[in-house]
Amino acid sequence: MSEQDKNRWQQVNRPGEGQAVCFDLCATMRLSDGQSVDVPEQGFLICFQGKLRAWRNHCPHAGSPLDWIPGQFFSDDGEQLICHTHGARFEPLSGACIAGPCPRGLFALQFQDQGDTVLVPVNVEITTEL
């Protein structure tokens, strides 16, 4: 990985089916006055039905992390992602909110599938909220 890529991507192990891997993420919030603020957050990478998805670990309802126990995102039946703060439920592959108080779905992160490992972002730019 080039030095430039190391500033953009970090490598994590590929999660098993129905599992998630968490990673640190710097969220850069762009303010309306043109300034920006960096906020330490997490992202999580899941494998569901053999497909990978990476999401910001930030509930669209009130902004809390979704996982109840660190790294635990899936419902008991393994079919949905759950925010344990107020119980919102999300479709694992689309991130759409399918139940609960969220005004929108999860914030998708880019990733690069490399087989046994996956590249996930080091930071993400957020322009829709603070």
**Could you tell me the CA-to-CA distances from 87 to 12, 18, 54, 129 in Å, in that order?**
28, 19, 20, 22
Examine residue 88 and tell whether it contacts ligand FES (CB under 6 A). Answer: yes
Query: Which member of 30, 71, 80, 85 binds ligand FES (CB under 6 A)?
Result: 85
Determine the Cα–Cα distance for residues 119 and 90; give it in Å rounded to an integer: 23
Q: Shortest distance, CB of residue 72 to ligand FES, whole angstroms? A: 14
Q: In which residue are the tokens 């930071």 written?
A: 123
The encoded tokens of residue 6 equal: 């190391």
Q: Which is nearer to ligand FES, 10 or 53 (CB)?
A: 53
* Stated length of the chain: 130
Examine residue 59 and tell whether it contacts ligand FES (CB under 6 A). Answer: yes
The encoded tokens of residue 5 equal: 């890529």
Query: Which member of 18, 71, 101, 105 binds ligand FES (CB under 6 A)?
Result: 101
Residues touching ligand FES, count (CB under 6 A) = 10
Binding residues (CB under 6 A) for ligand FES: these are 59, 61-62, 64, 83, 85-86, 88, 100-101
